[in-house]
Structure 1
Amino acid sequence: MNQATDNPSTDASLGTLRELLSFRRSELQSAVQAADLARQQQREQAAPDVMDQKDLGEVEVEAHLVQAHEDRDRFELRQVDQALQRMSEGRFGNCVDCGEPIGMPRLLVQPAAQRCTRCETAHEARAHGG
């Protein structure tokens, strides 16, 4: 690899990562807006149909799944916004735990990453009681 792909602090790498983050931000904003619109339309079209317990259960499960997906999108959108903020402040690309640079391969896969692979693994182990 050349220096531009190894080091997230080079102008070329930062430009690539900014484009990836901006693109993902647009995708997430569209998904959240679509979910909001769908929920609004569902409320407006809700008819007082008679449903049996099975139908009602299916509707509730689907609503929970849709909500979980939307919550995940909103969480990721916050992470992307935070990464773009760190980038504009010149704090992007270093692990929030150890301070070491986050490897470019990790940032290309997860541009909003806040931790290097080692620290993220430890963070997840702690979060899961490990």
Structure 2
Amino acid sequence: MTTLRNDQLDLLRCALAERDAQLQVEVRAAKQAAAERPPATVREVQDPGEDAEEHFRHGLEHVDLEREQEELRAIQQARERMADGSYGSCIDCGQPIPFERLKAQPSASRCIVCQTRFEHSQVR
């Protein structure tokens, strides 16, 4: 059960909707740019340095796209938690996530302590 007031939930809903819309535009643009890019076999590269730079840039674009899609999934999950009444509670310990944290990261699913523990467990 959330400890957030209705006005706080409304503010967070709006923040999620705005970020979702922004990410949707960015993902569509990235996918369109990738679709319009000529295949590597068609391009004429003048020097290996240019080829390496282009390969690196495309790799970064791919990582950005994956990050944006992951954030869209997190936003959807936050909306689902809002709908079922569990939004604002840490998915690991069940404690309330402070409103200030949710204002900074509306899709947050963990309190700071559990998020820190989770991130440290993900280090490879």
Q: Same fold (TM over 0.5)?
A: yes
Matched residue type, 1:93: G
Deviating above 4 A after TM superposition, structure 1's stretches of 4 or more consecutive aligned residues are: none
Secondary structure at the residue paired with 1:92? coil
Aligned residue-pair number: 122
**Distance between the aligned counterparts of 2:18 and 2:37, measured in 1?**
29
On the 8 A contact 1:94/1:115 being kept in 2, the answer is yes
Work out whether 1:97 is the aligned partner of 2:80: no
**Distance between the aligned counterparts of 2:113 and 2:45, measured in 1?**
54
State the percentage of identical aligned residues: 34
Hey, what does 2:81 align to over in structure 1? Answer: 86
User: Scaled by the length of structure 2, what TM-score is found?
Assistant: 0.90
On the 8 A contact 2:93/2:114 being kept in 1, the answer is yes
* Structure 1 residue 69 displacement after superposition: 0.8
User: Scaled by the length of structure 1, what TM-score is found?
Assistant: 0.86
Q: 1:59 to 1:32 in 2, by over 3 A?
A: same
On the 8 A contact 1:21/1:80 being kept in 2, the answer is yes
Superposition RMSD in Å:
1.8
Matched residue type, 2:12: L
109, 115, 121: which is aligned to 1:114?
109
1:1-130 aligned within 5 A:
9-43=4-38, 47-128=42-123
On the 8 A contact 2:45/2:51 being kept in 1, the answer is no
Deviation string, structure 1 residues 28-67 (Cα, Å, up to 9, x no partner) = 11100000111112138x9532432111111100100111
Unaligned ranges ≥5, structure 1? 1-6
